[in-house]
Amino acid sequence: MQVTVDQAKIEKLKSMCKKIRIDIIKMLAEAGSGHPGGSLSSVEILVGLFFYKMRHDPKNPKWEDRDRFVLSKGHGVPALYATLAEAGYFPLEELMTLRKYGSRLQGHSDSVTAPFIEVSTGSLGQGLSLANGMGLAARLQGKKWRTYVVLGDGELEEGQVWEASSTASYYKIDNVTAIVDRNFLQQNGPTEQLKSMEPIADKFRAFGFHVIEINGHDVAQVVRALDEAETIRGKPAIIIAKTVKGKGVSFMENVPGFHGKAPTKEQAVQALKELEA
């Protein structure tokens, strides 16, 4: 299914992706710790959600009819913080407090300290289960809001993901859209060398999902996939977004070492030059 998206809107989304990548590098360099690789790989996904698809209100984060978002790969929260700040949930300056004592911006998603975070995550494998619960809650209440959940590809090694997949299919939870940030790397190396993920698409089809495969750095493909997923009835939908870990910074791209290592001040200068070019 092809959905036409205005090109001017696509260009605005691309510009926002650039801003958010710059924010990520600045905040991680300031913090001196954090997870750049999986944050940079998920930018287009988050921009497509928060600046195109989702119904939400920065002035009222707990608006009852908002769409819900779950970042199952909680270590990628710098990308979510930057997205939320650019969307107006809190001042951009607060990004520089990441991981500092007393900050609302913890190293993993924390809904206790930050009201603009839907649920606390960090223990991998739990996000789809949470999303299923939200989807069923909306159905029981007769509400039209949807839930979106972003999973890491290494996270698919968790058995709970597949239990949740079975549940989503069995109960025909069609108001939940899952998105896999398929960057082919996890903390210790390539996913296919540590524990092969493939064939991911066929696995989810076998579990009863409507599967959409895209280039996760092509904003136009991202928003079209989100539109398509919203039309699916009677089964859950999943978008498998092929991405590059560390996207946008040459010395971080496809380098496992930058899974959980922040750039030094000198590396940040180089990264910002590349991103701003």
- Summarised one tens digit per residue, pLDDT across range 116-147 is 999 999 899 999 999 999 999 999 999 999 99
Does 180 fall in a domain? yes
Closest to 259 in 3D by CA, of 175, 163, 155, 144: 155
Does 86 fall in a domain? yes
Phi, psi of 93 (to 5 degrees): -60, -25
Count the domains in the chain.
1
Q: Does residue 4 register a pLDDT over 90? A: no
Give residue for tokens 């109960």.
171
Pairing relationship of beta strands 189-190 and 210-215 according to DSSP bridges: unpaired
Average pLDDT across the chain, whole number: 96
**Coil/strand/helix, residue 242:** strand
- The pLDDT of residue 187 is 87
Using CA atoms, how far apart are residues 138 and 155, in angstroms rounded to an integer? 26
Half-sphere exposure of 22 (CA within 13 A, CB side): 14
Does 45 fall in a domain? yes
- The pLDDT of residue 1 is 47
Does 103 fall in a domain? yes
Q: What is the DSSP string of 164-227?
A: HHHHHHHTT-TTEEEEEEE-SEETTEEHHHHS---SHHHHHHHTT-EEEEEETT-HHHHHHHHH
- Summarised one tens digit per residue, pLDDT across range 229-267 is 999 999 999 999 999 999 999 999 999 999 999 999 999
Query: Could you tell me the CA-to-CA distances from 121 to 150, 151, 193, 194 in Å, in that order?
Result: 11, 11, 26, 24
2 pLDDT band, cuts 50/70/90, is: low
The CATH number linked to 136 is: 3.40.50.970
Query: Could you tell me the CA-to-CA distances from 73 to 195, 228, 250 in Å, in that order?
Result: 18, 23, 23
- The pLDDT of residue 201 is 97
Q: Does residue 152 register a pLDDT over 60? A: yes
Query: Could you tell me the CA-to-CA distances from 221 to 30, 45, 67, 116, 189 in Å, in that order?
Result: 33, 10, 21, 27, 27
Q: Does residue 5 register a pLDDT over 50? A: yes
- What percentage of the chain has pLDDT greater than the value 90? 92
Q: Does residue 40 register a pLDDT over 90? A: yes
| Mean pLDDT of the region 140-163 | 97
Angle at 89 between CA 219 and CA 14, to 5 degrees: 20
Does 219 fall in a domain? yes
Using CA atoms, how far apart are residues 120 and 67, in angstroms rounded to an integer? 17
**Coil/strand/helix, residue 74:** helix
Closest to 42 in 3D by CA, of 274, 243, 254, 271: 243
Does 2 fall in a domain? no
- The pLDDT of residue 3 is 55
| Mean pLDDT of the region 49-55 | 98
- Tell me which residue range forms the domain holding 97: 7-276
Query: Could you tell me the CA-to-CA distances from 100 to 122, 154, 184, 263 in Å, in that order?
Result: 18, 28, 30, 17
- Summarised one tens digit per residue, pLDDT across range 64-116 is 999 999 999 999 999 999 999 999 999 999 999 999 999 999 999 899 999 89
Query: What is the total residue count of the chain?
Result: 277
- Summarised one tens digit per residue, pLDDT across range 186-198 is 988 899 999 998 9
- The pLDDT of residue 12 is 97
266's CB contacts (< 8 A; 6+ apart) are: none
pTM given for the model: 0.96
DSSP 3-state helix, strand, coil percentages of the chain (rounded to 5)? Answer: 45, 10, 40
Does 1 fall in a domain? no
Q: Does residue 185 register a pLDDT over 60? A: yes
Contact 129, 171 (CB under 8 A): no
54 pLDDT band, cuts 50/70/90, is: very high
